[in-house]
Amino acid sequence: MNATDVSPKASARLHRIKIVSRIARLGVIGFLLFTIWFLSRVWIFQGTPVLFDKLNAASAKAVHQYPLFLCAAILSLITPLILCVWYWKLAQLFHYYERGLIFAVKTIRCIKFLGLLCVINWMLVSTIHLLLQDQPSPSQPMRRLEFFSFDFGWGVDFGPLLIGAIIVLIAWIMDEGRKIQEEQELTV
Amino acid sequence: MKANEISTKTNARLNRIQIVSRIVRYVILANIILNLGFWLIYASPLSGGLGRSVWLILLQALVCVWFWKLAQLFHFYERGLVFSSETIRCIKTLGLLCIINWLLMTMAGRFFSHPLAVKLPMVLPPDVKVVTTMVKAHSVGFFSFNIAGVNFGMLLAGIIIVLIAWIMDEGRKIQEEQELTV
């Protein structure tokens, strides 16, 4: 295959990648803005989060539960922030693709970070749930068997942990593969 | 850097990839068996009408296929196929299965009141009471984008996976074409 034949093909592919990545990035930024708007609306216009209501209810019932609910309430403020950061990193990933960095270090590191954020979010959500374990959780059925959802009746969903771990592992394997390719290119 | 040093490093990396991928593959396969067992015991798939049973079996089969493909993906990694067409195709299939699952779950949600609800025992202990609550109409979370009672999270995740797989495939083809350049 001649260089002149290959180069236009590669250029066409890169151009397609650029367009699709840009659309995806704008879509993800749109989701991020929607999430921020939605959360702001819930918190500002519809009153305090449910946990703060429970905080007030708990303080009336049992004073010793107040610190637990306070911790849970603070953690529940952090989880939406992590979600926003996750969307931001995803947009950044598509930005790297747009620049043509498909198997680069930055791209793989971004994927790894997305996986780690999933794991961190799982840890926070599980902690919140464990802190509130005496309280009924209406939106969490006892057992769920769905995609990305593994609730074995303890009230803790292991699905996001599994997903985060898989993303981190795949990113690590891709990184090792990239280093192998680089080392093979250096071989004389 | 000497060629034999690079070769040793490469072998060490391939070895690490092989070990980690094998462990993960076994964990995923064990998870399939655990998931099936759990589902058979607690989901009562054959009760609640033919329609509900068919949906439950279909959804569970989809979950099993998804994990099977994930195990296959790590099998490709174990064989050293990190950026190959088979690997990328596998990732694309995983994304498509997420989208198909979203379609089935959304349809199940429309046709059945609680398609995946676990049946409680008929006789409850005296100190236990059933509390019926309303499902939130709108919510956002990780892999969860609930608008008007429909969760678009799985659809979003599936589309993202398919997109990333497509981009990786295009990148792979660019690399192959550049290698062919004289």
State whether ipTM is beyond 0.90: no
User: How many domains are contained in chain B?
Assistant: 1
Range with the poorest average pLDDT among A40-44, A124-128, A170-174, B33-37: A40-44
Domain that holds residue A51: 3-186
User: How many domains are contained in chain A?
Assistant: 1
Beta carbons of A35 and B140 less than 8 Å apart: yes
Mean pLDDT over A77-94 rounds to: 90
Contact present, A35 and A28 (Cβ < 8 Å): no
Tens of pLDDT along B119-130?
Answer: 555 566 666 666
* Tokens encoding A60: 């009336």
Closest CA to A141 of A155, A161, A129, A127: A155
Which pLDDT does position A134 carry in this prediction? 53
- Chain A CB contacts of B177 under 8 Å are 1, 6, 9-10
* Tokens encoding A130: 């464990």
**Shortest distance, CA A125 to any CA of chain B (angstroms):** 11
- Chain A CB contacts of B13 under 8 Å are 176, 179-180, 183
Task: Quote the percentage of chain B above a pLDDT of 90.
Answer: 19
Predicted TM-score (pTM) of this structure: 0.79
Q: Which residue has the higher pLDDT, A76 or A91?
A: A91
Domain that holds residue B32: 3-180
Mean pLDDT over B87-100 rounds to: 91
Band (pLDDT 50/70/90 cuts) for residue B135 is very low
Which pLDDT does position A155 carry in this prediction? 67
Average per-residue pLDDT for chain A = 77
Judged by DSSP in three states, B45 sits in: coil
- Chain A CB contacts of B116 under 8 Å are 144-146
